[in-house]
Chain A
């Protein structure tokens, strides 16, 4: 009975705190993406109209975002019914946007104003090092990398 009560409390905390944290993060992402509107970001394999100097360079950005207790619990229900796991989709979406923003910040810090050949790699490093069987808590990782160059 006690264990059930604690579990319910944890899940409710997860629901509330998770929602707050997600909304705050989405707001922050929107704000910062507006700051980078002048940077041209493409997945094209060659730079468009590049300047000769400075030499293009590889830039990377990465982030690890944890999912909250409610999402982890609800995904267990999803396993019963199937269908699109929108919660985790949003989690990876946030991780991807955050990693891309960090990559753009690094490009701007080094004095470039465009990034081409952008690729994203996502993994889940959830699972406990101490108790490997506990895989219920996904941690979304995204590594974004591309070639930064200066436009003429």
Chain B
């Protein structure tokens, strides 16, 4: 069951941008994981966008598209991490590239690790 684009198992994983998770220590490094998605623009949104391109302002349709892409890319990355048996992904970074005029790729990548709470 997907909630917010993520599976239940994925939501229990720790995902951070930093190199380590505070309060946890890295037990084992599983490897690099990544998830990407290529989205093409939708003709209906494009027509609405042509109007916005005249007056300027936020393109809500495309923002939603970007949000979906971001969730999808993260979800795929977490799936890979799960397959490796990790319970956290650290040092997550995003990168984008335009494929053609009208399609862009969003990729999320990070390092899958197993963490356990630090003993104080």
B-binding residues in A (CB < 8 A):
10, 13-14, 17-18, 21-22, 25, 45-47, 50, 52-53, 55-58, 60, 62-69, 71-72, 98, 116-117, 119, 121, 123-130, 132-133, 135, 137, 139, 141, 143, 145-147, 149
Contact = CB atoms under 8 A, between A and B. Distances in A.
A52 B23 CA distance: 5
A68 B98 contact: no
Given A14-B55, A67-B53, A132 B100 contact: yes
A126 B43 CA distance: 14
Interface string B62-102: 11011100100010000000000000000011111110111
B7 interface: no
Interface in B39-57: 40-43, 46, 49-50, 52-57
11 contacts: A45-B19, A47-B18, A53-B23, A58-B74, A62-B67, A64-B58, A66-B56, A71-B56, A117-B18, A141-B66, A145-B94
Contact of B40 (A47, A129, A135, A139): A129
A119 B56 CA distance: 25
B38 interface: no
Question: Secondary structure at chain A's binding surface: helix, strand, loop or mixed?
Answer: mixed
A47 B23 CA distance: 11
B119 interface: no
Given A21-B55, A52-B22, A123-B98, A58 B70 contact: no
Contacts of A98: 58
Contacts, number: 152
Question: Secondary structure at chain B's binding surface: helix, strand, loop or mixed?
Answer: mixed
Interface of B: 14-19, 21-24, 40-43, 46, 49-50, 52-59, 62-63, 65-67, 70, 74, 92-98, 100-104, 106
Nearest to B24: A55
Contacts of B14: 55-57
B66 A143 contact: yes
A139 B104 CA distance: 12
Given A55-B23, A125-B41, A66 B94 contact: no
